[in-house]
Amino acid sequence: MAIAGRRRAPKNGTMTIVLGAILGGLLAASPAPPADGAHDFDFAFGAWTTRLTRLQRPLTGSKDWVEYSGTTVVRPVWGGRAQLVELDVAGAAGRIEGLSLRLYDPETRRWSLNFANARGGGMAPPTIGGFTDRRGVFTSEETLDGRAIQVRFVVTEVTPDEYRYEQAFSADGGGTWEVNWIATDTRVKGR
């Protein structure tokens, strides 16, 4: 018999449904944790056929492009937290042997792309960035012929068998960009 002014406690099944609804609402309102980008470049592991075009004299008004073809090999280092990229392409303008070390920073969740050309013997300043919706954007500030420029490196069209790298320079603080390097890599089958 119920006493006036008191309510009966809900049965256990009802309480579970009420608590489930409250918790579900709280969880739905909570933002998702930021994605860990440590594996964003995993698609690139393996051997690739590389087609490359390069603008000969960037930021001079030149329209002279040269073509190269060859290979790119990407290996995981440190359990995939870093990658070693070897580029070897040749064309009428000569040969490019490049080495890139991609390093992932778990604290900032960003990648640094560090490139060296065999002719130069040193690393260029790293481009820093990450991926959003399978598109990677990486930037740096450098100098070209004594003037300050910005560099933007973009990775697009990521599929299991093909992807594209594009580099552009800006001499006006990012107001305009001139593309000067386009590389398309196609996966070597059977490797």
Res. 36: pLDDT tops 90: no
Give the residue-averaged pLDDT of 14-31.
43
Res. 191: pLDDT tops 80: no
Complete DSSP assignment for 72-102 = EEEEEEGGGTEEEEEEEEEETTEEEEEEEEE
Identify which has the larger pLDDT, 89 or 30. 89
Asked if 131 and 109 count as a contact pair (C-beta separation under 8 A), the reply is no
Confidence of residue 142 (pLDDT cuts 50, 70, 90): very high
Residue % of the chain over a pLDDT of 90? 71
State the pLDDT at residue 160. Answer: 86
pTM: 0.79
State the pLDDT at residue 80. Answer: 83
Could you tell me where the beta strands, DSSP code E, fall in the chain? 46-55, 65-77, 82-91, 94-105, 110-117, 127-132, 135-144, 147-156, 162-170, 178-187
Res. 23: pLDDT tops 80: no
State the pLDDT at residue 121. Answer: 82
State the pLDDT at residue 11. Answer: 52
Residue % of the chain over a pLDDT of 70? 81
Which residues does residue 151 pair with via DSSP β-bridges, in sequence order?
A: 140, 169
Measured between alpha carbons, how far is residue 150 from residues 34, 118, 164, 170 in Å?
A: 27, 23, 20, 5
Smallest Cα–Cα separation from 188: which of 43, 2, 49?
Answer: 49
Res. 2: pLDDT tops 90: no
Res. 119: pLDDT tops 60: yes
Res. 70: pLDDT tops 50: yes
